[in-house]
Every structure is written in structure tokens, then in C-alpha cells.
Amino acid sequence: MSPAKPEPGRIGPSNVARAFDEHARSYDRLVGANRGYHEHLRMTARRMGLRDRGAGLRLLDLGCGTGASTQALLDAAPEAEIIGVDASSEMLSIARAKTWPPGVSFVHARVDDLASAGITGLYDGILAAYLLRNLSEPNAALRSFYALLKPGAPLAVHEYSVADSARSKAIWSAVCWGVIIPMGKLRSGSADLYKYLWRSVLDFDGVEAFTTRMHATGFVDVKVQTFPGWQQHIVHTFLGRRAPEPDTPPLGLNLKKKAEPRDD
């Protein structure tokens, strides 16, 4: 992955949220035309294995955009408290305008700086859908997500990852140049964000590299699943858990052995 600085006028991690501001009004129509988009988000949210319809759980949807991933999380855990976070005020205003139960709220913040927006731990689960590829410091982001999770709680990263497969890269480029880029330009008047999408996916980690990053951060039970449709081996759920706290040893078991009284 090469989180290089964008050239002037080019979209990159430092200005991608601003680019989403400009495309916010056409975003829902475009993703709605992408068959499988919403169902795949729901599958990722279900893969998190959230218990009891989310009753009593606090969840984060990082890079929530217009709320598509927030809705998926809500479908999997309708009784949870869910906080959606995004750096684009326009994407958030579309999310906020939708109808949500009282447990859902939204915060305008960069995920690189969650603490200053009052997002501090601990949470019962984090979903980050189509976000990681946009960050300049993915390792730092993974570390901060890890620190926000309760021991044993899941992180689901829902993301494009094609670098390990020539076939996936070819299908991705064909879908982008045949459908996404022309349709994006038609609907929003500019192809810039969609060309960035194409390029950022090609630059992002392959499945192996990203799972290695997760392991290196400390995540356990890391597994990767894909989806049916053209997205197969192109879009993935990367699931991992914060390591559970080591079992507390029975009282006294880890005390240093007392010196035996000597007979002499």
C-alpha cells in the first residue's frame, strides 16, 4: 500500500473527505445501482457475531458516510447504541437526515483523531466499511481501533482488496472503466472521485498484507471472507478481535512460592 501525498489537484488521504463532500448528494443513488452493495454490508455486520440483537452494546461505524454501513450495523444489532463517525460534513448531513432510532447518533470527526472528538473506549464492536484504503496511516488507525475495543470485541473491515490476484485486478479495472467511472461522471458531473476509487483500490494491500497488518496490531481470530457476485475476491470482510484478557489465575496461584521452613 502506498499512502503517498496526493499531487496538487489529486485526491488522496488528506483531501478525500472534501471530495466526498462534493459527491455526497449522488452517493446513495450510485451505490444503490451497485448490485450487492447493501446486502454485502449487512453480511459483514452479521459476520461480527453481535449477540442479543445488540442489547446493551456500544458500537462504532467509522467512515459511516451517508449511513449505508450504519444501517447494516443497525440491522444486525437493532437494540445497540451506534455512533457513526465521518470526516465529511456533507456525507454526514445526508446520514443525519434519514430516520434513525434514538440509539443511533453521528459525530463529525477524522478517524485519525477520535479522542479529540470525545470518542474514547471502550466499545463492543467496530465496523469500518470502505474506509481503511483512504487513510494515510493504516497501522496507526488499526492500533487506535484496537485500543477502543473491549477485550474479545470484534473489528470488521469491509474493503476492496485485489492486489493478490491478477484476475481480481482485471475485473476491478473493467468494472471501474466500464461502469463506475462513466456512471459516476454522469450522475455527479465529475469522474475524479471514481478515478481515485479505482486507483486507491489497486494501491491498497492484498488480502495477505492486510491480514498481516491486523495480526501485527494484536488482533486475534483474524479471518477473511468474500462475497458472491462480481465482488467475489474483490470485496472482503476482514474480521478480527481484540485479544481477550488472560484468564485471571485462581487466587494465590501466581504468588511466588514461599520459602519452605528449614529443619536445621
Task: For the CB of residue 11, give the shortest distance to ligand SAM in the complex, in Å.
Answer: 10
User: Rounded to an integer, what distance in angstroms lies between the CA atom of residue 191 and that of residue 81?
Assistant: 36
- Binding segment (CB under 6 A) for ligand SAM, from list 13-21, 116-124, 186-194, 198-206: 13-21
Residue type, 52: D
Total interface residues for ligand SAM by CB under 6 A: 22
Considering only residues 41 to 60 of the shown chain, the ones binding ligand SAM according to CB under 6 A are: 41
Closest CA to 218 of 248, 199, 245, 236: 245
146: contact with ligand SAM by CB under 6 A: no
Cell of 131: 474506509
Task: For the CB of residue 113, give the shortest distance to ligand SAM in the complex, in Å.
Answer: 8
Residue from the set 63, 138, 154, 184 that interacts with ligand SAM by CB under 6 A: 63
Longest dimension (CA), the chain: 95
User: Rounded to an integer, what distance in angstroms lies between the CA atom of residue 129 and that of residue 49?
Assistant: 16
Closest CA to 241 of 217, 213, 222, 216: 222
Considering only residues 66 to 125 of the shown chain, the ones binding ligand SAM according to CB under 6 A are: 68-69, 86-88, 91, 110-112
Contact footprint for ligand SAM (CB under 6 A): 16-17, 20, 31, 41, 63-65, 68-69, 86-88, 91, 110-112, 129-131, 134-135
